[in-house]
Amino acid sequence: KNEVEQSPQNLTAQEGEFITINCSYSVGISALHWLQQHPGGGIVSLFMLSSGKKKHGRLIATINIQEKHSSLHITASHPRDSAVYICAVRLDYRDDKIIFGKGTRLHILP
């Protein structure tokens, strides 16, 4: 069983829809990252969370440490949001060990 699970694996939605991607983890962590990987391979770090909620433009990330769960939300989705979204956790007992989820492939239709 993976220590970091994402759902759904694939998501297709219409432009304008509200998108939610979930990440659950089974280990103690010090931080959680949401990453965006574009079709060409480049990866951008969207958020780093250790508690609560962060917002950047149309993107919102939340984390519940007690429930070991994080969500990434996209409001008013747009075709340019189409990418793979990856959840990654930094463990709290091994220096700088990061475990990645398999990613969620998002496709926004115009």
Partner 1 sequence: ETGVTQTPRHLVMGMTNKKSLKCEQHLGHNAMYWYKQSAKKPLELMFVYSLEERVENNSVPSRFSPECPNSSHLFLHLHTLQPEDSALYLCASSQDLTGPINSPLHFGNGTRLTVT
Residues that bind partner 1 (CB under 8 A): 2, 4, 30-31, 33, 35, 40-45, 48, 50, 86, 88, 90, 95-103
Q: How far is the CB of 16 from partner 1 (least distance, A)?
A: 29
Instruction: Report the residue number, 40 or 110, with the smaller CB distance to partner 1.
Output: 40
Residue 52 identity: G
For partner 1, give the closer residue by CB, 80 or 110: 80
Residue 60, CA distances (Å) to 34, 51, 64, 75, 94 in order = 10, 13, 14, 8, 28
Shortest Cβ distance from residue 47 to partner 1 (Å)?
Answer: 9
**CA–CA dist 68, 3 (Å, integer):** 11
**Residue 100 contacts by C-beta under 8 Å, 6 or more apart in sequence?**
4, 86, 87, 88
Closest contact distance (angstroms) between CB of 70 and partner 1 is 15
